[in-house]
């Protein structure tokens, strides 16, 4: 579904990604694990064409994403929910959600149905639709950010650090929802520092260090790796 082949990315003279190879198959939930600054967000920004790669290829099936503009990547169905949520705090929750439906603004019935599905996923947003997004708790704001991404009808959903700064109970709820989204048919690439929680819901994981993929495997293989457990999982 989504393939990185020898992808490098530079920020000026700094090389953020070094010949990264990834493969996310249709219907999978794949996790990128790594510390802050490891290169996870750079991988997402390369996939979204927010940063031009210095070498390699990024393909969505047969489509070359690296040569596209960011808006065309969204039209192709690769939708990023960014780290830090990036909501419009003074706008209502509903308006923030509907921004995700911009490409489908002519399909009013479809957007209503999609909004209803999102409110089923996040029922606590139902009574907050008219409230400013900035008045919500961190967990509720993350729900809005994910909901906005889902309104775009993604083929591949890129979730960048959705658990960051959230209470443990909210993190569990968030991961349950992400697993539900995947089981409903959306391919998910999830970037996370919370390795223990992420590994329990994923099909496979890649470990990123210094802009390089250093490990790949399933929960069983990675949690059994001594170096991996010390660095990311604990115990």
Answer with the one of 127, 153, 179 that is the final residue of a domain.
153
pLDDT tens digits along 68-123: 999 999 999 999 999 888 999 999 999 999 999 998 888 999 999 999 999 999 99
Per-residue confidence (pLDDT) for residue 3, from 0 to 100? 96
| Separation of alpha carbons 153 and 132, rounded Å | 24
- Shared domain for 229 and 124, answered yes or no, is no
What 35-38 contacts at long range (C-beta under 8 Å, 24+ apart), as own/partner pairs, is: 35/193, 35/209, 36/193, 38/208, 38/209, 38/210, 38/211
Residues 2 and 60 in one domain: yes
What is the residue range of 147's domain? 86-153
Total of domains in the chain = 2
Do both 35 and 145 map to the same domain? no
* 112 lies in the same domain as 9: no
- The CA–CA distances, whole Å, from 144 to 81, 91, 148, 149 equal 10, 12, 6, 9
Same domain assignment for residues 126 and 183: no
Instruction: Express each pLDDT in 165-189 by its tens digit.
Output: 888 888 888 999 999 999 999 999 9
Q: Would the pLDDT of 149 be above 90?
A: yes
CATH code for the domain in which residue 169 is found? 3.40.50.300
How sure is the predictor about 235, in pLDDT bands with cuts at 50, 70 and 90?
very low
- Say if residue 71 is in the same domain as residue 158: yes
Cα separation of 1 and 140, whole Å? 30
Q: 69 and 106 in one domain? A: no
| Domain end among 118, 153, 188 | 153
Specify whether 208 is located in the same domain as 146.
Answer: no
Same domain for 175 and 234, yes or no, is: yes
Question: Does residue 230 surpass a pLDDT of 70?
Answer: no
Q: Enter the pTM of the model.
A: 0.91
Is residue 163 located within the same domain as residue 148? no
Instruction: Kindly state whether residues 52 and 69 are assigned to the same domain.
Output: yes
Residues 212 and 116 in one domain: no
Strand partners, 192: 33
Domain edge (last residue) among 128, 153, 178? 153
Residue pLDDT, tens place only, 123-135? 999 999 999 999 9
């Amino acid at each position: 579904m989504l393939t990185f082949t020898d992808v490098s990315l530079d920020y000026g003279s700094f090389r953020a990604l070094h010949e990264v190879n990834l493969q996310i198959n249709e219907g999978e939930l794949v996790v990128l694990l790594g510390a802050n600054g490891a290169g996870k967000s750079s991988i997402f920004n390369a996939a979204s064409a927010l940063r031009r790669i210095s070498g390699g290829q990024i393909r969505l099936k047969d489509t070359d994403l690296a040569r596209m503009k960011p808006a065309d990547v969204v039209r192709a169905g690769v939708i990023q929910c960014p780290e830090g949520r990036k909501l419009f705090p003074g706008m209502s929750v509903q308006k923030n959600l509907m921004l995700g439906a911009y490409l489908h603004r002519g399909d009013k019935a479809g957007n209503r149905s999609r909004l209803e599905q999102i409110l089923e996923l996040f029922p606590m947003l139902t009574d907050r639709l008219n409230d400013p997004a900035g008045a919500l708790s961190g967990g509720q704001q993350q729900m809005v950010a994910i909901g906005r991404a889902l309104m775009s009808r993604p083929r591949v959903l890129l979730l960048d650090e959705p658990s960051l700064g959230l209470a443990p109970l909210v993190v569990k709820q968030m991961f349950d929802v992400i697993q539900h989204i995947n089981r409903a048919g959306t391919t998910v690439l999830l970037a996370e520092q919370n390795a223990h929680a992420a590994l329990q819901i994923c099909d496979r994981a890649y470990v990123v260090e210094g802009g390089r993929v250093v490990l790949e495997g399933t929960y069983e293989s990675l949690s059994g790796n001594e170096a991996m457990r010390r660095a990311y999982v604990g115990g």
